[in-house]
Amino acid sequence: MRGILFDEQGRGVKTVQHQYQVLYLSGGRAEQNPADWKDALYAILRDLSAYAKEHSLSIDAVSLTAQRSSVIPVDRSGTPLRPAIMWLDKRNAAVCDELKPHEDKIFRITGARLNTVFSGGRMTWIKQNEPEIYQAAYKLMTIADYLAWLVTGEFKTDHTYGSRSMLMNIRTRCWDADMLHLFSIDEEKLCELVAPSTVLGYSLQQVEKLTGLPAGIPFISAGGDQQCAALGLGVINDGDMEITAGTGAFLLAAASEIPEEIRPDVICGAHAVPGKYVLETSMLTCASLFDWFHNQFYQETGSSYKKIDGEIADSSAGAGGCMVLPYFQGRGSPDWNNKATGSFLNLTLNTKRADMARAVLESIAMEAANNLELLEHYVGKAGAIYVSGGLTNSDEFNRIQASAYQQAVLKSNNAEQTALGAWASAAVAMGLFSNLETALQYAKLADNITTYSPNMEWAAIYSEKRAEMNRAYRTLY
């Protein structure tokens, strides 16, 4: 969890970060202790409040963006009743299988295709398998809802989180009675829906005692992390696109309206820009796959990613024929295949470790190219693609991306695009700027943008290799 103290120009003047870990269990389960977030939140608020006081600065608002579809059941006092079930947890696969006959209706109403990622099926799993927890729960909350409650005492959530639940009607932006019935969820157990860029409430006196953050500070829900990343990168108008290459990869395009002929090969969700939409595709493994490979095969180099980057650059485009199916947590868009697994293909006795490492990055980029095609079907060809996320710290990966997409890839020197989106949301909510475009233009005056252009020789290799990768996937699944 990171807390960044921004000034009125959108410049970060102080950053505090606290680390924690997801607990990965057998059977595709993933959980986390909600105390991790509570402790990190209070520690960050303490540190930033002390910094502000020391430097004679005032804190005028708190703006929050967070991951979107993990679930925490809490009682009326806001106390968690069990560990959070994380967004990448797959224990609700049977719930999704049971609801498969209703998938067309679910997509038509919610903009989401049935998948274990979304929070609604996770809530249903709790009701079916831990009925005592469900009955005792006052609210079933996302991480963002829980953090907002800790600061304000309000049980509220915004449309961006609702649109990742399969319980919210994407057109009315209200909890949908038919979906609640299908998933067997009681509406009173859900938080009140509000628009993003909304003041959810104000910091409590007890929070001031614990952290030093003055009571009465506006608390703003800026929207889910991927929507805020898109906002921070400038994905506001129809056809703007971005890729966030984090633990998973998320590709988003902005849209003013829901496309008339939309198919369930993309997800349609609420944007962090109030009233607008994002069309989204997802890859369930991205940096997490690269980290896995690094940890398994580069132990002797310590934790240095510079070593692996150097080896990848020495391997030629195409990775000596080595190919990866990057579905180590299943496949996301377009078919949401939870049964898909990862594979290394075309290995020979001549295959080097560096080839395998490069093949991992190439496979991620080629799967992203598959997803870009889906988005372009609805919004047209992107003139340029904004990229962010941990994996884009690798220049070689960005060169691979540009060549796989056969389009320019743009990366800002500001790594905190998600937080910048949250700042812009707050800046408009607090009346500093009249609209988000103006706020972002002002904040980005000092930005340095690196442009990665496609290597057309690589592009030809990746076009052929992507076709081979897709054939291999179809053959297996």
Q: For 230-249, what is each residue's pLDDT tens digit? A: 999 999 988 889 999 988 99
Q: For residue 22, tell me if it sits in a domain.
A: yes
Name residues whose C-beta falls within 8 Å of residue 441's C-beta, 6 or more positions apart in sequence: none
pLDDT at position 326 is: 98
Residues 321 and 174 in one domain: no
Per residue in 436-469, pLDDT tens? Answer: 999 999 998 878 899 999 999 999 999 999 999 9
Residues 194 and 240 in one domain: no
- How far apart, in whole angstroms, are the C-alpha atoms of residue 47 and residue 413? 26
For residue 15, pLDDT beyond 60: yes
Task: Specify the CATH number for the domain of residue 248.
Answer: 3.30.420.40
For residue 14, pLDDT beyond 70: yes
pLDDT at position 302 is: 58
Of the candidates 447, 427, 444, which has an alpha carbon nearest to the alpha carbon of residue 435?
427
Span 199-206, average pLDDT: 97
Residues 267 and 175 in one domain: no
Residues 319 and 172 in one domain: no
**DSSP state letters, 128-144:** HH-HHHHHH-SEEE-HH
Per residue in 36-81, pLDDT tens? Answer: 999 999 999 999 999 999 999 999 999 999 999 999 999 999 999 9
Phi then psi for 169, rounded to 5 degrees? -75, 120
Of 223, 242, 275, the one marking the end of a domain is: 223
Q: For residue 443, tell me if it sits in a domain.
A: no
Residues 216 and 342 in one domain: no
Residues 346 and 400 in one domain: yes
For a pLDDT cut of 90, what percent of the chain falls above it?
A: 88
Count of domains forming the chain: 2
For residue 301, pLDDT beyond 70: no
Q: Do strands 409-412 and 385-388 pair parallel, antiparallel, or not at all (unpaired)?
A: parallel
pLDDT at position 22 is: 93
Residues 339 and 408 in one domain: yes
Output the pTM of the full model.
0.86
- How far apart, in whole angstroms, are the C-alpha atoms of residue 434 and residue 208? 30
Taking the CA atoms of the chain, what radius of gyration do you get in angstroms? Answer: 22
Residues 210 and 345 in one domain: no
Q: For residue 431, tell me if it sits in a domain.
A: no
Contact (CB, 8 A) for 72 and 142: yes
Residues 241 and 215 in one domain: no
Q: For residue 281, tell me if it sits in a domain.
A: yes
Distances 44 to 19, 61, 203, 205, 256 between C-alpha atoms, Å: 11, 14, 14, 17, 36
For residue 303, pLDDT beyond 60: no
Residues 238 and 193 in one domain: no
Per residue in 142-185, pLDDT tens? Answer: 999 999 999 999 999 999 999 999 999 999 999 999 999 999 99
Per residue in 350-401, pLDDT tens? Answer: 999 999 999 999 999 999 999 999 999 999 888 779 998 889 999 999 999 9
Span 334-342, average pLDDT: 92
Span 200-229, average pLDDT: 97
Residues 265 and 207 in one domain: no
Per residue in 107-151, pLDDT tens? Answer: 999 999 898 999 999 999 999 999 999 999 999 999 999 999 999
Q: For residue 42, tell me if it sits in a domain.
A: yes
pLDDT at position 92 is: 97
Cβ burial, residue 125 (10 Å; 0-12/13-18/19+): buried
Q: For residue 229, tell me if it sits in a domain.
A: no
Of 189, 223, 257, the one marking the end of a domain is: 223
| Res. 416 pLDDT band, cuts 50 70 90 | confident
Q: Do strands 241-245 and 385-388 pair parallel, antiparallel, or not at all (unpaired)?
A: parallel
Residues 190 and 248 in one domain: no
Q: For residue 442, tell me if it sits in a domain.
A: no
Of 223, 242, 259, the one marking the end of a domain is: 223
Angle, CA of 17, 194 and 254, to the nearest 5°: 75
For residue 414, pLDDT beyond 60: yes
| Res. 299 pLDDT band, cuts 50 70 90 | confident
Which residue carries 């988003």 as its tokens? Answer: 252
| Res. 424 pLDDT band, cuts 50 70 90 | very high
Tokens of 344: 């290394």
What region, left, alpha or beta, does residue 394 occupy, with left being phi > 0 and alpha being psi -120 to 50 degrees?
beta
pLDDT at position 239 is: 83
Which residue carries 């679930």 as its tokens? Answer: 71
Q: For residue 29, tell me if it sits in a domain.
A: yes
Signed CA dihedral, 134, 138, 142, 147: sign only: negative
Span 190-214, average pLDDT: 97
Print the domain residue range for 131. 2-223
Task: Give exposure, 47-81, as e/b (b: 16+ Cβ within 10 Å).
Answer: bbbebbeeeeeebebbbbbbbbbbbbbbeeebebb
For residue 304, pLDDT beyond 90: no
